[in-house]
Amino acid sequence: MLFTVLIPLILACFIPLISKYKYTIHTGVFVLIIPLAIFLYFIRFIGPDFQTVTNTYPWIPSLGINLDLYLDGLSLLFALLITGIGTLVVLYSIYYLDKSERLGHFYVYLLIFMSAMLGIVLSDNVFALYTFWELTSISSFLLIGYWHFNERSRYGALKSMMITVFGGLSMLGGFALLSVISGTTSIQAMITNADTILDSSYMPLALGFILLGAFTKSAQFPFHIWLPDAMEAPTPVSAYLHSATMVKAGIYLVARFSPVFADFEWFFIIVTITGIVTLCWASYMAVRQTDLKAILAFSTISQLGMIMAMLGFGTGAAIFAAMFHILNHATFKGSLFMVAGTVDHETGTRDIRKLGGLYTLMPITATLALFGTFSMAGIPLPFLNGFYSKELFFESSLGLDGGTHAITTFLVEAVPYLAVFGSIFTFVYALYFLFGTFGGKTQLQKLPKKPHEAPFGMLLAPMILVLGVILIGLFPNAVNGTFIAHAAKAVYGGDVVENVKFWHGFFKPAFLMSLVVVGTGIVLLITRTKWNRIYQILPGRWSVTKIYDWIMAKLDNWTENVTSFYMTGSLRQYMLIILSTIFVVTIGFMLITSGFTIDFSDLAPVSTVEVVISLVITAAAIGTIFAKRNVAAILIAGVVGYGVSLLFVIYRAPDLALTQLVVETISVALFLLCFHHLPNLKKQHEPIRTKTTNTLVSVGFGAMVTLVGISAYSSDWFETISDYFVKTADTIGGGHNIVNVILVDMRGFDTLFEITVLGIAVLAIYSLIKLKTGKGDK
């Protein structure tokens, strides 16, 4: 399975080459093959006899971290969504994005994101999962900010990254706690040791950290504010990230760890409250929006809250309903995002106040929107998959059991009413989207472009998704036994058997709740202009976005003040801060840990030559302070380096001596070549306070280095690593020169990256020189 994760990343490296021919063949045509091939690979696992698949690849064995890939029903469901919806999104983007766009950038970002999402849902190792998790944040940041010349795109990209990365770091803390508690980094092993985790006093903290990561990623209240601003991304990005994949990563995380925390009552309380509040608030706010994608953004938030609430319920029926709705939501919401993009593409606007009457001008698009919105609204029709999962949601909300806390008892009573409330506004915003765009009278004078039906290629992807809506609605049990039931089993921990059917009886509570939703929703939709003034009261002038902007403004001011404090342009102050910090931290740590150890019992005798050379080095070092000319200071400093090389010769380390000689010679030569660019060494009158500070810092830092060296030599806390290198240099590295073997073989990657850093530094310096001389503009 590893190739399914790596292939998009590998092929992303070749996209810049392919995109050079985009005016001949659209780059998306080549990219389309990748998700389609991976989708076909995963679809072969579908079936009633599905068995889990596990692959292990060593990564950091010394820390017990492997790249463990685990394919069960839950990961299969998400892998199919990632690759299936990904295929349709790429197909849609071929017709949506003009060839003049930066297609190479777009598809590179998209493939990176696809790899990251597959890595999340297939990883069994928590730290591998976290690595892919943050990669989704980075790639989504690039995708949301794709049109970087728009200020709102940059704002939305930064906002999404700040919130999701904050949650990701929190999640990492939770993973670290879980790995310490359970003694493993494997998610499946943690599930096996769930009792040990539940008995730990650190478990509530770990749960809180992990849920924070999930809530930020899946745009749960109050972290939902990043999703509406992310709608500044191109529509293919919105259809992919914000309906079927990225926003469901938090859902996946909660589902994956449900077997660990499900028996903890506060898991039910926190997840249920967060989900149901998100459902109600977002559905209520969606009716307020005037931008088509903003309506869909809040509708996505509300649907995610509904799924999160069902995961919080924790019953078999609720888990099955959640898995079923994950699939259904991807089909109807993906098609609606594409419909919104098509309307924008053909009319030049997404403002619903300027739209209307498009059914006669764009009949196919309107028909697709009708199926998508009716399914999202939960209209009781047997060919709409959204109705089935909404009915299951109502049924699961009625089947909750009480707990030991009073808040649990309250939730059991309140959840069904809140579910109806959220579903009423879901009905309203769904039909508001449909009729506000395609119903009523046309307003051609307000449209930037004269609308007409989109080309067939742009309609093909939403057609396939709408076909999925209909087929799942007509044959719900076809997807039930083949992979939805397997996904529910992976989350619930046992078999979840549900026979999905349209009609349960007229007087069944769930159906009566649906009738209340439809009846009340119709009334609210018809009278929307009369009651929408309520938004002036709630939320009124208050919003979570304003709180976010206020926090970011305060952070900007604080960081600017802190930076201005130490970024004064004074090299002396920079060195003072750096050396003082190192001194305080090092000495403080050594005092706390009793790190000072002095043992002179096993020292080799000191020869007269060593004493003489050491005195010369000391005198040269002191002499640099009193040198009055550049050349003199450079030559005296060279004496220090050459003196150290002589000590290496005496200690029978010829390689080190030669290295020191080469480095010192090059350094002195370079200084001499450019000494005329250096400032003259003029004696400056400095106050006593400055001289005293300089003396204290230099003497203190030198004493610290001396003490660290003596303590390191005198300590015997563990076996020295030199014995390992002496024994293995020949057998592993194939060389008798231990130093060379260490640099080239044992720590070859360190050397490689050091050279890479130097190369980057050279390029940066070269760029600065070009910039300064003005040659970079030529």
The whole-model pTM stands at 0.83
Beta-carbon contacts of 225 under 8 Å, excluding residues fewer than 6 positions away, are 159, 163, 543, 544, 545, 548
Angle at alpha carbon of residue 434, lines to 530 and 156, rounded to 5°: 90
- Which residues form the domain of 729? 720-778
Distance between CA atoms of residues 512 and 394, nearest Å:
10
The strand pairing partners of 54, in sequence order, are 70
Examine the domain organization and report whether 278 and 254 are in the same domain. Answer: no
Examine the domain organization and report whether 242 and 273 are in the same domain. Answer: no
Residue 200: pLDDT band by 50, 70, 90 thresholds? Answer: very high
Position 280 scores a pLDDT of: 97
Residue 625 falls within a domain, yes or no? Answer: no
* Residue where a domain stops, chosen among 201, 227, 261: 261
Looking at every residue in the chain, the average pLDDT score rounds to: 90
User: Mind listing the pLDDT tens digit for each residue in 142-193?
Assistant: 999 999 989 999 999 999 999 999 999 999 999 999 999 999 999 999 999 9
Compute φ and ψ for 291, nearest 5 degrees: -90, 135
Examine the domain organization and report whether 377 and 463 are in the same domain. Answer: yes
Position 593 scores a pLDDT of: 83
Distance between CA atoms of residues 535 and 545, nearest Å:
16
Can you count the helices (H) and strands (E) in the chain? 34, 2
Distances 28 to 19, 111, 369, 415 between C-alpha atoms, Å: 9, 11, 25, 45
User: Is the model's pLDDT at 676 over the cut of 70?
Assistant: no
Tokens of 561: 């003040």
- Largest separation between any pair of C-alpha atoms in the chain: 105
Other Cβ atoms less than 10 A from the Cβ of 436: the count is 18
Examine the domain organization and report whether 286 and 254 are in the same domain. Answer: no
Residue 172 falls within a domain, yes or no? Answer: yes
Q: What is the mean pLDDT of residues 621-642?
A: 83
Tokens of 585: 């931290």
One-letter amino acid identity for 556?
D
**DSSP letters for 24-74:** TS-HHHHHTHHHHHHHHHHHTT-STT---EEEEEEEEGGGTEEEEEEE-HH
Position 600 scores a pLDDT of: 76
Residue 682: pLDDT band by 50, 70, 90 thresholds? Answer: low
Examine the domain organization and report whether 90 and 103 are in the same domain. Answer: yes
Q: What is the mean pLDDT of residues 524-552?
A: 90
Residue 199 falls within a domain, yes or no? Answer: yes
Q: How many angstroms separate the first and last alpha carbons of the chain? A: 49
Residue 704 falls within a domain, yes or no? Answer: no
User: Is the model's pLDDT at 778 over the cut of 50?
Assistant: no
Examine the domain organization and report whether 194 and 292 are in the same domain. Answer: no
Angle at alpha carbon of residue 83, lines to 78 and 86, rounded to 5°: 115
Compute φ and ψ for 65, nearest 5 degrees: -110, 115
Examine the domain organization and report whether 337 and 388 are in the same domain. Answer: yes
Q: Which of 483-492, 736-745, 762-771 has the highest mean pLDDT?
A: 483-492
Examine the domain organization and report whether 235 and 321 are in the same domain. Answer: no
Q: What is the mean pLDDT of residues 291-309?
A: 96
Angle at alpha carbon of residue 240, lines to 238 and 246, rounded to 5°: 95
User: Mind listing the pLDDT tens digit for each residue in 432-447?
Assistant: 999 999 998 998 899 9
Q: Which residue shows structure tokens 């609204």?
A: 377
Question: DSSP character for 291?
Answer: B
Position 681 scores a pLDDT of: 61
Residue 672 falls within a domain, yes or no? Answer: no
User: Is the model's pLDDT at 503 over the cut of 80?
Assistant: no
User: Is the model's pLDDT at 777 over the cut of 50?
Assistant: no
Examine the domain organization and report whether 366 and 438 are in the same domain. Answer: yes
Q: How many domains does the chain have?
A: 4
Q: Which candidate, 251, 174, 181, 241, places its Cα nearest to that of 216?
A: 251
**Strand, helix or coil at 653?**
coil
Share of the chain above pLDDT 90, in %: 61
Q: What is the mean pLDDT of residues 307-321?
A: 94
Tokens of 717: 């806390």
Q: Which of 215-224, 669-678, 681-690 has the highest mean pLDDT?
A: 215-224
Distance between CA atoms of residues 517 and 416, nearest Å:
12
Examine the domain organization and report whether 254 and 281 are in the same domain. Answer: no
Distance between CA atoms of residues 746 and 181, nearest Å:
33
Q: What is the mean pLDDT of residues 719-724?
A: 79
Position 776 scores a pLDDT of: 46
* Residue where a domain stops, chosen among 526, 550, 567: 567
* Residue where a domain stops, chosen among 233, 261, 289: 261
Position 61 scores a pLDDT of: 76
Residue 677: pLDDT band by 50, 70, 90 thresholds? Answer: low
Position 112 scores a pLDDT of: 96
Distances 706 to 583, 646, 701 between C-alpha atoms, Å: 12, 20, 9
Distance between CA atoms of residues 723 and 631, nearest Å:
44
Residue 209: pLDDT band by 50, 70, 90 thresholds? Answer: very high
Q: What is the mean pLDDT of residues 730-750?
A: 80
Beta-carbon contacts of 558 under 8 Å, excluding residues fewer than 6 positions away, are none
User: Mind listing the pLDDT tens digit for each residue in 330-380?
Assistant: 999 999 999 999 999 999 999 999 999 999 999 999 999 999 999 999 999
Q: Which candidate, 376, 361, 486, places its Cα nearest to that of 73?
A: 486
Position 512 scores a pLDDT of: 92
User: Mind listing the pLDDT tens digit for each residue in 570-594?
Assistant: 888 889 999 999 999 999 998 888 8
Q: Are 188 and 66 in contact (CB under 8 A)?
A: no
Position 773 scores a pLDDT of: 60
Position 719 scores a pLDDT of: 75
Burial bucket for residue 775 (CB in 10 Å: 0-12, 13-18, 19+): exposed
Residue 140 falls within a domain, yes or no? Answer: yes
Residue 586 falls within a domain, yes or no? Answer: no
Examine the domain organization and report whether 88 and 227 are in the same domain. Answer: yes
Q: Are 23 and 77 in contact (CB under 8 A)?
A: no
Q: Cα 456 to the chain's mean position, in Å?
A: 35
Distances 66 to 75, 185, 389, 515 between C-alpha atoms, Å: 18, 9, 37, 52
Distances 563 to 429, 467, 559 between C-alpha atoms, Å: 47, 57, 6
Lowest mean pLDDT among 69-78, 165-174, 504-513: 504-513
Q: What is the mean pLDDT of residues 712-733?
A: 80
Distance between CA atoms of residues 425 and 506, nearest Å:
23
Tokens of 341: 């993009």
Bridging pattern class, strands 65-71 and 53-60: antiparallel
Compute φ and ψ for 222, nearest 5 degrees: -95, 15
Position 680 scores a pLDDT of: 66
Residue 435 falls within a domain, yes or no? Answer: yes
Share of the chain above pLDDT 70, in %: 97
Q: What is the mean pLDDT of residues 367-396?
A: 93
Examine the domain organization and report whether 343 and 196 are in the same domain. Answer: no
Residue 714: pLDDT band by 50, 70, 90 thresholds? Answer: confident
